[in-house]
Structure 1
Amino acid sequence: MGVLKLYPSKLRGEVRIPPSKSIAHRAVICASLGCGVSKIKNINLSDDIIATIEGMKSLGATIQDKGDYLEIKGIDRSKKSDKVIDCNESGSTLRFLIPISIAICEGARFVGRGNLGKRPLDTYYEIFDKQGISYNYAEDELNLSICGKLKPGEFKVEGNISSQFITGLLLSLPLLDGDSKIIITTELESRGYLDLTLNTMRDFGIDIINNDYKEFIIKGNQTYKSIDYKVEGDYSQGAFYLCADAIGSDVSILDLKSNSFQGDREVINILNRMGMEFVDRQGKISGYAKELKSTIIDGSQCPDIIPVLSVVASLSKGRTEIINAKRLRIKECDRLNAVAVELSKLGAKIEEKKDSLIIDGVDYFLGGVEVWSHNDHRIAMTLAIASTRCKEPIVIKDFECISKSYPKFFDDFKMLGGSFDEWHVGQ
């Protein structure tokens, strides 16, 4: 078990944000489905991205790390065989590759670790039942076997479930030998992630008609083209430093695209409502706040940035409500509970509800306690940002989970002036 003792210190300087994990998943998949050789530049080989790379290799793509870029040769779809895909703990890998595997192969087995087996897949099971695709799975662990072929047609999907299901279908259906339609039956959440999907697919030559996010018309027999592609910076990671600025640090953030389709760009709008002003100097974004104020934050469209926004809310005047956040309970951990428990240890005033958090602002965090990452990368990084406004040092257990999305987070944290001691227990 890795342990860090973090000392209160403001962060100062410039940091280059890792590439968007969300876009990288999609780019690797689109390139792997292409008909030639693509180069994908600006890739951060986090655990989740490695899972998708290995998954597409299992399906037949040839992917080589050339240092500055990935070279990807598309899958030979004429070769069909059963595949084993290890998703590790990546929900994106699992939900994107399930329909792809049965669009291009006759069968696949999916395995993984952590809480991944507890994430619901009922949306796909309903499709399997309707199309006569056989499957079996284990309870509370990921061990899913599928046998069959995805067929074109009409797919009705609820909009208030994970957008990963819709993305998986969008990526897969153009490969089939007939036309399809996806009908969204309820109000759509996480629209920004679908914008990323559609935009990336368009770059790789796939055309999909979007009828106001209520239905998607997908022509069959389309071909992904092979291109050179650069992945933009990740707003969900940039949010940690933007929130650090909100609570007193002075960090300039590089590689965030101002007109990005990323849903987590909403962090800018939320922090602006809370009193932050932003400056964008030729691609360097920084912000400051004279006084932070409370607001209402809707977690349905940007769940990944809710943990670190809870830090800002805890240090803002008044009562902040984080609503529509029930999906945070089925991430790498129960993030609503983890945020409430761990920030409360630091001195925050947080009330946990069924699908929301009620946060009454305090002037500062106390610190002087031991906290736990819950083996969740976003909780570990959230607690690190909180440490910059503590009166006393804090100890974070199980910090290595940052490898899931941002392996060099604590290298960057230290480079910006963060101070900590590290040790390992049981080694």
Structure 2
Amino acid sequence: MRPPSYKAVVDEFAATIRSGCLSPGTRLPTHRQLAAQRRIALGTATRVYAELAAMGLVLGEPGRGTFVREQAGFDGLEPSRNLPVRRTADLSFAQPLADEQPDQLRHALRELANSGDIGSLLRQQPPGGRQHERAVVATHLLDRGIDTAPAGVLLTNGAQHALDTVLRVVARPGDVVAADALTYPGLRLLAAAHHLELAPVAGGAAGPDLDALDRLCRARRVRVLYTIPTLHNPLGWVLDRATRERMADLAREHDVTIVEDGTYGFLDSSAPPPLQTFAPQRTCYVSGLSKSLASGVRLGFAVVPEPLAKACAASLRASTWGLPALVSALATGWIADGTLTRLEKRRRDDARARQIVARTALADLDVTAHPASYFSWLRLEPHLRRDRVAAALAQEGILVSTADAFATDGNPPQALRLALSEPPLEDLPAVLTRLRAVLEAFPL
């Protein structure tokens, strides 16, 4: 079977771009110009550019045109982390770690070695975790405003695994999942893996446009609403109580299951209660300890309504069978003895200190950030393109995340997310000053 004729145009552009004959930043013909030049329909020309964008070769900028994309590989949903020079700072991934934590790990391992039944750690755990460890997490969640029995808590291999488990149960291939136009990249990966359609919901500085969500739910059969109400990733908003209440009302009105991501919620202890408390029978709350404890401690959890618990446990059995007993014992031990509470307090103080540094170093730039957040959202000047800025920063040893990773609507803005937790606090001013210098060095 012959391929569609437009494929020849796609292949021609792809070869020209990859060969370097079309350099990064080259503006391509408009859709109408391409249609006229190649004697193809306007819709076909649009499809050509859509396929090139999906291949990571071009960027479409509303109102400006289509441009050849920087091919260095330091932007996009899964950017390269192999820098061309020695790494100066990783601002692409939030992975806070306190200096004393290695010693805490040594102490905890000694405690486990001296425990009465260390052999139990060699046995298979049930899907969802052992009952006493689920009870520890349920008690911990009381401080988040969530009151649930241990049976309603399922332990997982990190928050991403919790999200994966829940989506497998509440959605089927082809289902529509409403999500913010900019949101957590892990959702996009799971949506692609499970063949779910992400329907973007526009938002502003304070949160999503709930009128737009209402219209979407009236126009489409939305199965799931994914939301990050406290310390949104990447925009940092914290939804007020009235917004949470209305979101819960909309979910009930349109029979939508809410999947609430609470991963960063611990950073703002003054936030309103989780959405789960407003609609407990239709909300699955997912979170983990990667940001509060350590990214290498892969313990996550899902709080699910009772009718979904059995199906979620079966999904866990199908994916991993059970948790690594050593990890769950370590993590729940740190929760039970108060280590996690102390670390969360330290993280909150640390995040606020870093935001103060960022506000000073990035003054007068278009930055959105919550004062308790570990990241900042930097909108670039009109003459700057996110892929070229990311590549230029990589040449300075600085990794960043571009808006491509977070966009669900196919039109990423010219913006970067800066994760502030990895560089030592005393080095952060110099890192951000260097980042600013790279931005200012681009010609107008």
**In terms of Rg, which structure is larger?**
2
TM bracket (short chain) = under 0.3
Q: Which has a greater percent of strand?
A: 1
Tell me the TM-score normalised to structure 2 length. Answer: 0.25
Q: Which has a greater percent of helix?
A: 2
